[in-house]
């Protein structure tokens, strides 16, 4: 949302913009707000220890209710597939406020994978009035679900806008002396790993870790894993990967440092939807450690490959990229289907005409 907020702020004579944050993830949110110099007008501050989906839904719905009563907007923007996205759309519906959904139309067609994101976005679609789809395939998904075509606009994804904005603001050298990177040999090939999906908790995460441990036996690589704060992720990661010299388990990174690290990486293993979109803009092959993905455009274009959570396939596909330059180049040079960095400008132009 950051690049869209900045774009709206360029036209204060046309748009009265207010930013509401849920703070579902306090630390992760604050570093992004600081980097993009965005000051929220409403901060629900809902994060609490050991929160579950019931807590998030209840607190966010109550908080957004108060914001809508106070501000009474003409249009509420929600982005993506988080629980607060769905709750924001639901609250707006209760108050008869129009909803614009950014990143609309993504589907895995499995309501339990990713969980709860798949149902969050399906339900948000039913509540939204304007649908900003990142790709033509996302538009097709919406049309099949009965969304009127005149309510759908293919604009690309604002996450690519954010990526390019970040690259402009961050020099190539900036995080190089950053303490978590100080012991890493960047002359070697870097494999970046991220993982946090709820459907992978338990045995799947153990399999992923075992695969990473085996991949680390290659001499010329360094594996960097910013470990998600969820204890269901940290426990298997620390137990299985904690004592391997060329595996670096670090705390979650701020946004610019993570983008810098992606740009330095050779291969990325991830279950993150956003990384599947961002990495191809940097020419980085992505191995998706999930059984399904709602971002099938990347699979079809060749920028990403689904490898599941079985250790044998993860190892085989990663080692092939490390040893076969032809296979690597085919993925690294594929065209990113998710956007060109101008989604926010397109959204502003559309809103000026249709809202």
**d(Cα 324, Cα 82) in Å, to the nearest integer?**
37
Name every residue whose Cβ is closer than 8 Å to that of residue 110 and which is 6 or more positions away in sequence: 118, 292
Closest CA to 242 of 219, 212, 272, 202: 212
Q: Mapping DSSP to helix (H, G, I), strand (E, B) and coil, where does residue 343 land?
A: helix
Closest CA to 229 of 206, 195, 268, 204: 195
**d(Cα 197, Cα 202) in Å, to the nearest integer?**
11
Q: What are the φ and ψ backbone dihedral angles of 172, each rounded to 5 degrees?
A: -60, -30
In the set 7, 43, 81, 161, the catalytic residue is 81
In the set 228, 248, 290, 346, the catalytic residue is 228
101 noted as active-site residue = no
25 noted as active-site residue = no
In the set 25, 189, 196, 234, the catalytic residue is 196
324 noted as active-site residue = no
131 noted as active-site residue = no
In the set 7, 43, 59, 117, the catalytic residue is 117
81 noted as active-site residue = yes
**d(Cα 87, Cα 78) in Å, to the nearest integer?**
9
239 noted as active-site residue = no
Name every residue whose Cβ is closer than 8 Å to that of residue 121 and which is 6 or more positions away in sequence: 80, 81, 85, 86, 103, 104, 106, 107, 294
How far does CA 32 lie from the centroid of its chain?
13
In the set 129, 198, 254, 291, the catalytic residue is 198
How far does CA 148 lie from the centroid of its chain?
27
In the set 7, 43, 59, 103, the catalytic residue is 103
| Both tokens assigned to 9 | 């702020």
Catalytic residues: 81, 103, 117, 196, 198, 228
């Amino acid at each position: 949302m950051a690049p869209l907020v900045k774009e709206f702020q360029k036209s204060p004579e046309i748009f009265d913009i207010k930013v509401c944050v849920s703070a579902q993830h306090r630390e992760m949110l604050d570093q992004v707000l600081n980097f993009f110099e965005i000051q929220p007008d409403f901060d629900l501050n809902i994060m609490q220890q050991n929160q579950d989906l019931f807590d998030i839904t209840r607190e966010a719905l109550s908080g957004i209710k108060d914001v809508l009563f106070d501000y009474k907007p003409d249009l509420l923007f929600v982005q993506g597939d988080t629980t607060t996205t769905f709750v924001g759309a639901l609250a707006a519906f209760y108050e008869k406020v129009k909803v614009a959904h950014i990143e609309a139309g993504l589907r895995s067609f499995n309501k339990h994978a990713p969980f709860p994101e798949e149902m969050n976005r399906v339900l948000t679609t039913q509540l939204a009035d304007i649908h900003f789809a990142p790709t033509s395939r996302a538009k097709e998904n919406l049309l099949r679900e009965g969304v009127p075509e005149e309510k759908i606009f293919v604009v690309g994804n604002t996450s690519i806008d954010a990526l390019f904005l970040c690259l402009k603001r961050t020099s190539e050298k900036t995080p190089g002396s950053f303490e978590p990177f100080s012991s890493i040999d960047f002359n070697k090939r870097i494999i970046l790993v991220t993982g946090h999906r709820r459907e992978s908790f338990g045995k799947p995460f153990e399999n992923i870790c075992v695969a990473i441990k085996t991949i680390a036996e290659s001499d010329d690589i360094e594996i960097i894993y910013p470990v998600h704060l969820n204890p269901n992720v940290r426990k298997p990661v620390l137990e299985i990967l904690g004592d391997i010299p060329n595996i670096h388990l670090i705390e979650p990174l701020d946004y610019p440092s993570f983008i810098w690290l992606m740009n330095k990486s050779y291969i990325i293993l991830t279950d993150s939807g956003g990384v599947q979109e961002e990495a191809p803009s940097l020419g980085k092959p992505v191995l998706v450690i999930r059984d399904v993905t709602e971002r099938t455009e990347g699979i079809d274009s060749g920028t990403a490959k689904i490898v599941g959570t079985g250790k044998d396939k993860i190892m085989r596909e990663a080692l092939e990229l490390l040893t076969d330059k032809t296979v690597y180049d085919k993925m690294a040079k594929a065209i990113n289907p998710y956007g060109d960095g101008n989604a926010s400008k397109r959204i502003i132009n559309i809103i000026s005409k249709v809202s």
